[in-house]
Structure formats: structure tokens, C-alpha cells
Amino acid sequence: MEEIVGFSAAALPPLVPYRPAATNLPPQEWQACLDAWLVSIEARLRLADQQFSTLSLSDSGSGVPFLISYFRRPDSASANLLLHRCSYLLTKRLLLSIPKSNFLEQSAMLSFVLDANANFHTVSEWRQTLGQSVFVQSPLFNSSLAAWMALTGTALLSQPSSSWIEGVRKMNLQVKTLPSVGFELMKGADYLESLMHAFASSELPAAHTVVVENTYRSLLSLLSPEYTRPNSLMDQLHLLKSETGQSQNSKLHQQKKTLCSALICETSFLRHLAASTALNSTKRGRDTIDNLTEYREQTKHLHPPPARRKPKVKSKGKGKATGVGEIHIHRAASVSQVHELFPHLSAGYIVRLLDYFDDKTESVIAALLEPDSLPPHLVDGTAVADEEISATLSAPNPVPLSTPPLPAQRRRNVFDDDDFDNLQIPTSQVHRGRKAMDISQPSTAEEHNRIDTDNRNNSNSDLPEESLFRAWKATPALFARDSATRISPARQQLKRDLGGALTDEQIEGWAIMLGKDQSRQRRLEKQYSAALFGGGNQTVLAQTKWSAARAAAEDAASEENTAPSTKKSEHARQHGGFRSGRGGGRNTRREGRAKKMARGGFGGPPPDGAGS
């Protein structure tokens, strides 16, 4: 904004504290309040740098009382976008321009920064603004953080209250914006011990969530690029694990949640540790990650994942009909059914009868036939007249308008306006009937390329297994399941030899399954043994040239293996295996009896000496 010439800080318009729009405040008056706030903020932003630096944050002329009231407005109060932007610009200029001598007191200044960060942490340039502010770069900021840690640590040791829960929640946003704040919080073990005590002693879910988030963000600040302290991080993790060791000595340690179990089960903290190069480069760091991973498997049943919310399904209108609005179609049918028998009754009176008898038409008709059974307030039917229901039921139906005939539509398809449709294709290209297809040749270039690719893939199908077996035979430690082996040059070279077709998990799983299968090891040893020692894997081909000596030897061997021929085998060979198989004897008797009956019935040959 441009500066106003001749305008001094003493002549600034007043900037009263912010108050949300009340329900009894007319829109015109609320708009007038917004305009007054905007004019007052703009007047301060137009001051020259020398005049603006003379403002004191403790005075109302600086606008700090207004900003504090604006920062602490209720969550339900909606903020005006233009007022929110002007408040950000005023806060930014105050933090960058006001000297140390004009600061608030130590605790009030830190509270002002925390409130401002809670409102503007989503602004893209806020992190840079807060890092360059005079207060954050001064030693007063670290001393105020130490004082806040002492007061909050004392509050954490007591019962949870809304005051320290809200304060820790604001500090979580501050650590997210500035990792240096988390680095200051993790100096020493007092603050972390207070968080562990607050998590163990509190039963409020809100307190648990705030404590876990504060621990998560504070510990991750020790892995930030500008504040990497792996030794300090492992010391703090050892302190967290000490609580789990004390709980494991008890009999009910499996049923007790700890801050360490919540940290590794409910957040992505363990994944950040596994991706840290500073931790994986030392044996202590790798052992710490392995211990936390094992502890997570033991306690993950204590922290089930949150249930997914089902989206609200719009009602299909199948619920119980209500009497609000237009009359229901089923109620209208019941009213018309009663009205046919009692035409002198009004529709409103019949509706009241149906309400009294739970929409039972038979009960209503029976009660009207016996008026003495009606309740006193429903005896007089002429005194009740519901004009709205009567008008709804007796409303005439509109006369249906004649629908004009639809225009005749011409059927179209994808072959319209092509060469066949326009009769422009030559007759030499027209083929009637089925065309002979040569399935041995690919029809298109794409199919030809696909066939070549398939053949090439089939020919190299054993290459990954052969490479894996050679590497496993030469160096079994290459298939270890740890991060150091995965990033080793030998493992990376193996993955490049495999063409990137297998991941680390697949390679390690292949080695585990091979170690459990001795028969597969022998088969692969036999298959690739010649290749391992420099030979080839080509199968020995038998000689196909005919020779008399080899033919005579084969005939002699076949005669030796052939069983001696008997009369029964000759008979079975002639009759195609007769009497062989299941039920052979039973079939023989049946066939023999059939032959005998055939000879007796159709005059078989007479016996010897008969008829002489």
C-alpha cells in the first residue's frame, strides 16, 4: 500500500476489539463495523516504516488487542475474507518491523505468536514470515519456550483440562510450522516424561490425541534437514521404550496402552524412521527400528484403525408416511373408501378418524355404524372441517393435453456415408460369402509384433530363475531381509540383471521358499550344474541313422521281453481280448446259452446217427 503523506501514528483511527456478528445485530450495522475495522487497519498499513516502528505492541494503537480478539474468535464465527487478509498483513508487518524494546512481556508475546500461527499456518508465505520475525530470531523466543515448557509440564502432571489441551494443540501447529520449536522441546527428558505421564493418567480421547501429535511432531523435528540429531532422537526413543519395559513386567501389559504404542501404531512415525538415512547408517539405529517394529506387532491390537464412515444414503421414500405437507396417496385412498359409504362426512373428519384408529379403514367404518362407540371429541362430524384436506382431495384433475406425434426418425448406424452406402466401392473388392483365412500367418503388423514378443518372452522364461539360483548358490547372504542388504550394490546389480522384473520382497521370498524345498534345490542344481561349471545345458540327441547291428540288437531285446505264446493267449489275441476285463466269465455263459438256443430253434446240424 502507498504511504499517506503527513499522516502520523498519533492520529490513527481507533481499532476496537473484534466481536463476532450477533444474532440481534442488523446486517447494515455489521457491515458498518467491518468497514470501520478495514479503514483502521489500512491506516496503520499506510504508515511509513519509521512511524510504524515507533508503535508499541502493548498500546491499543498498534492494533494488537484487536488482533488477539480476532485470533480467539469462536470457531462457529465465520470470518470475512477481506478482513482476514488485512489482519494477516498487519500481523506480518508487526512481527517484521517492531523492535525488541516495543515487545509485549515474555508469555504474552509467545501467546500472540501461537494465536497468529493457529490462524495463518495455511498461508504459503507464513513460515518464511515467522522465521524472519524479530521475536523468533531473538533469544527471548527460546527463553519464553522454556517458560512455557515448565508451566505446561506442571499442568500435564495434573488432571487434564481444556486450558492445557488447547495450549498443546496450538504448540503442535507451531512445531509443524517451525521445526526448531520441536528441537527446543526435545532438549532434555523432563517435557517428554510429562507427556508420558499425561497420556497414562488421562482417559480423555482429546488429551490422548493432542499428546500423541505433540510427541510425533517434536520427535520428527530431530530428523529435519537443518536439525538432524539422530543420537538425541534415539535417546528419546529409549526413554519411551523404558515405559514399555516397566509395563511388560506386569501381567496385564498386553491390555495397557502406552505413549510409545500409540505413537508407532496410530501415526506414520515408524515409516519415517525406516526412511531416515541417518538412523539406518548406524547399528544402534537399525536395532532401534527393529525393536519398535516388533513392539508394534505386539500392541497393534490395542489401537484398531478408525472405522470408515458410511456415506449418508438419501431416503427412498419407504419410511412411515407423515401428516405434514400434502396428504399421502394411501391416506387419500382410505378417505375415498370411507367417503363412498358416508358421503355426508367431510374429508377432514374422516382423516381425524383414521388418525385415531391407526389408519384402519374397517375400524373407522365399524365405529361410524355404531356412533356410541366413538370418543366424545369425534362424535360431531359437522363441527370439524379441514378445508385444506378437502381442497386437496377434491381438486379436479387437469385435462390432459394431446401429445403431438413424434417426428419420424431415420435409423442410423456407424456405416452411414461410407463407400458401401454411397455405392463407390469397386466390385473387385467385394467378396460374397466367407473368405478363406490363413491362420498360420499374422493378419496385421501389430499381431506380427506381438507374436515375436511372445516368442522372445517364452525363450527367456528361465533366465530370472537361473540368475537367482546362481546368485543364491554363490552368495546366500545377498537375500537377507534387512535394509542394508536391500540398498547394497550387489542387490542392486542383481535387480538390474533381472531387468527390474522382481522387487526386493519377491527376491527374498524366492530365497525363503527355495530354502524350504530340498527337492527344488536338487532339481535346480541338476538343471544348472553344467552352466555353473562352464558347460552347456543342451540335451544329448540320440543317433537317428539306421544300422543293421543296432536293429538286430533291438529285435533280440524285444524277443527276450516278449512272454511265451500259449493257446489261450493266441485265442485272446484272435478274439480281441475275449473273456478279459470285469464280468468276462458272466458274458461267456450268456453268449454260450444264446448260441445253444439259436441252434435248437432254427434247426442246427443233427447229431451223429440221428435220422437213419
Instruction: Report the distance separating Cα 268 and Cα 491, nearest Å.
Output: 27
Q: Would you list the DSSP string of 1-68?
A: -PPPTT--GGGPPP-PPP-PPPTTS-HHHHHHHHHHHHHHHHHHHTS-HHHHHT--TTSGGGTHHHHH
Instruction: Evaluate whether 14 touches 65 at the Cβ level (below 8 Å).
Output: no
Instruction: Report the distance separating Cα 333 and Cα 138, nearest Å.
Output: 82
Give the global pTM. Answer: 0.50
pLDDT at 463: 57
pLDDT at 458: 47
pLDDT at 215: 92
By CB atoms closer than 10 A (0-12, 13-18, 19+), residue 495 is middle
- CA-based max dimension of the chain: 167
569 pLDDT band (50/70/90 cuts)?
low
> H or E segment at 405?
none
Residue 433 has pLDDT above 60, yes or no: yes
* For range 520-530, the mean pLDDT: 84
Instruction: Evaluate whether 199 touches 240 at the Cβ level (below 8 Å).
Output: no
pLDDT at 86: 92
88 pLDDT band (50/70/90 cuts)?
very high
pLDDT at 173: 92
Question: What average pLDDT does the structure give for the chain?
Answer: 77
Instruction: Report the distance separating Cα 536 and Cα 528, nearest Å.
Output: 9
Residues near 325 by Cβ (< 8 Å), separated by ≥ 6?
Answer: none
pLDDT at 90: 92
Task: Mean pLDDT check: name the lowest of 127-136, 172-181, 307-316, 468-477.
Answer: 307-316
Predicted confidence (pLDDT) per residue in 356-375, tens digit: 888 888 888 888 888 877 88
* For range 54-79, the mean pLDDT: 82
* For range 83-111, the mean pLDDT: 88
pLDDT at 393: 47
Among positive and negative, which fits the CA dihedral 580, 585, 590, 591?
positive
> H or E segment at 409?
none
Considering 251-265, 465-479, 577-591, the range whose residues carry the highest mean pLDDT is 465-479
Residue 388 has pLDDT above 50, yes or no: no
pLDDT at 252: 46
Cell for 291?
525393536
> H or E segment at 490?
helix 489-497
Instruction: Evaluate whether 142 touches 148 at the Cβ level (below 8 Å).
Output: no
pLDDT at 331: 81
385 pLDDT band (50/70/90 cuts)?
very low
Amino acid at 578: F
Instruction: Report the distance separating Cα 270 and Cα 273, nearest Å.
Output: 5
* For range 408-429, the mean pLDDT: 78
415 pLDDT band (50/70/90 cuts)?
confident
Residues near 289 by Cβ (< 8 Å), separated by ≥ 6?
Answer: 270, 273, 274, 279, 280
Residue 38 has pLDDT above 70, yes or no: yes
Task: Mean pLDDT check: name the lowest of 22-36, 443-457, 498-512.
Answer: 443-457
By CB atoms closer than 10 A (0-12, 13-18, 19+), residue 342 is middle
Write down the domain spans for the chain: 1-137, 138-305, 329-392, 463-532
pLDDT at 576: 56
Instruction: Report the distance separating Cα 117 and Cα 136, nearest Å.
Output: 12
Predicted confidence (pLDDT) per residue in 253-294, tens digit: 456 888 898 899 988 999 998 888 888 888 988 998 999 999
Q: Would you list the DSSP string of 139-170?
A: HHHHHHHHHHHHHHHHHHTS---HHHHHHHHH
Predicted confidence (pLDDT) per residue in 494-509, tens digit: 888 888 788 899 999 9
Cell for 476?
546366500
Amino acid at 450: R
Q: How many CA atoms lie within 13 A of 203 on its CB side?
A: 0
pLDDT at 59: 82
Instruction: Report the distance separating Cα 447 and Cα 99, nearest Å.
Output: 77
